Structure 1
Amino acid sequence: MSTVHRDEILDFVTYGEKRDQIRDSAMAAKERRRVIVADVLTFLFESHETVRYQVLEMVRTEQLVKESDIQHELDTYNELLGKDGGLGCTLMIGIRDPEERDVKLRTWFGLCAHLYVKLDDGAVVRATWDDRQVGDDRLSSVQFLQFPVGGRVPVALGCDHPVVTAETQLSEDTRVALTEDIEAVS
């Protein structure tokens, strides 16, 4: 997948002038790549456009001007993109009640090992994740995942955790978007 390069990042003043248009396009890109499983697991497959938008927002919010700071944001957010024909995504666990969320994030510890995509031939590809996000006894409500699909586009996304078991078929629009992402190269 194509990474975001420094020359694609506007200064925060110029970005502010173009923000509405860039944001509208990024939100449309996110919508095509959003998949909900079991009502509480929202997966957002990241793309060049979604990562560029996130970096631009950080530059604007933090009013970054130093090249090293901007490069740090690029390096950080580019990690979210799929590697070697794979797909990267952000998982957001949406449990509104703080007490219920705390209990479930402890009960669901180890959830990432139960996340998968299913390919058109029925093959299951398990998620990999960043160990830096995993605590000793509690899951973080935001996880950054990779699905090493080897250039293939999944047809479903699911979870087979003993407490959370569900699978969602990907829409045709999502599959087209993921195909575009996998085929995009740096």
Structure 2
Amino acid sequence: MTITIDSLMSLEAYTRQRKESKPRVIAHRRLRSVRLGEHLNLQFEDEQTVRYQIQEMLRIEKIFEEEGIRSEIEAYAPLVPNGSNWKATMLIEYPDPHERKRELARLIGVEDRMFVEVEGHPRVYAIADEDLDRENDEKTSAVHFVRFEFPKAARDALLAGAGAKLGCDHTHYPAHVQIAPETLASLAGDLRP
């Protein structure tokens, strides 16, 4: 389903149902999150998570005019997977500000070293920050947007139930984790053969 102005709720309708739907959306987001080591968290987006984000932004900013709503859709809709990929918000999390500053300087380029390895297939590296550059010569950003574009054979394998790892081969953050079966099942729903 495509997110359009007509498919979004009015501020009033959203506010009325928000309390009951929020726990469901949080559980869905948790299912689609993969922690990589202690400091990286990838939140895989889909139509439901992006729709929720747009509705929340409209509520918080009290946006009700068509132009403002369209602007929010244009900002967030590119995060919805298109059938050949997974898209994620990548968070680099260091609670201590001094440690965060030091590590963001050490982790320049980490977003380009993220990969998904589908069982029996070569690694698929992330395509990062297509909207704008989020790092400079001194540090990387704590938030990146990444896309994993799968070849047809890897998509078919995932749809058939193959396992997959999420990993990073950055010099200062080597890590990988098997993606949990229930998370993989949800992510496979983003793919088409």
TM-score for both structures, normalised by structure 1 = 0.92
In the TM superposition, residue 95 of structure 1 has moved relative to its aligned partner by 0.3
Whether contact under 8 Å (2:82, 2:191) holds in the other structure is no
Inter-CA distance 83–137: structure 2 relative to 1 (3 Å threshold): farther
In the TM superposition, residue 69 of structure 1 has moved relative to its aligned partner by 0.7
- Report whether the alignment pairs 1:157 with 2:166: yes
In the TM superposition, residue 114 of structure 1 has moved relative to its aligned partner by 1.0
Q: Tell me, in whole angstroms, the C-alpha distance in 2 between the residues paired with 1:46 and 1:82.
A: 7
Q: Which amino acid aligns with 2:144?
A: Q
Task: State which of 177, 180, 183 in structure 1 corresponds to 2:189.
Answer: 180
Residue correspondences, number: 183
- Residue-by-residue CA offset, 1:137-164 (whole Å, 9 max, x unaligned): 2110011100001462361100111111
- Residue-by-residue CA offset, 1:69-94 (whole Å, 9 max, x unaligned): 10111111111122451110000111
Which residues of structure 2 form unaligned runs of 5+?
none
In the TM superposition, residue 8 of structure 1 has moved relative to its aligned partner by 2.2
Which residues of structure 1 form unaligned runs of 5+?
none
Q: Which amino acid aligns with 2:106?
A: T
- Residue-by-residue CA offset, 1:104-134 (whole Å, 9 max, x unaligned): 0011101112110011214100001114222
Question: Runs of at least 4 residues of structure 1 off by over 6 A?
Answer: none
- Residue-by-residue CA offset, 1:38-64 (whole Å, 9 max, x unaligned): 111000000110000000000100111
- For 1:140, what is the secondary structure of its paired residue? coil
Question: Is the deviation greater in 74-83 or in 36-45?
Answer: 74-83
Percent identical: 29
Whether contact under 8 Å (1:34, 1:44) holds in the other structure is yes
- For 2:52, what is the secondary structure of its paired residue? helix
TM-score for both structures, normalised by structure 2 = 0.89
Corresponding position of 1:69: 68
Q: Which has the higher contact order (CA 8 A, sep 6+)?
A: 1
Whether contact under 8 Å (2:82, 2:190) holds in the other structure is no
Corresponding position of 2:109: 110
Q: Which amino acid aligns with 2:133?
A: R
Q: Tell me, in whole angstroms, the C-alpha distance in 2 between the residues paired with 1:81 and 1:135.
A: 27
Whether contact under 8 Å (1:80, 1:89) holds in the other structure is yes
Q: Tell me, in whole angstroms, the C-alpha distance in 2 between the residues paired with 1:28 and 1:150.
A: 29
Q: Tell me, in whole angstroms, the C-alpha distance in 2 between the residues paired with 1:76 and 1:174.
A: 26
- For 2:89, what is the secondary structure of its paired residue? strand
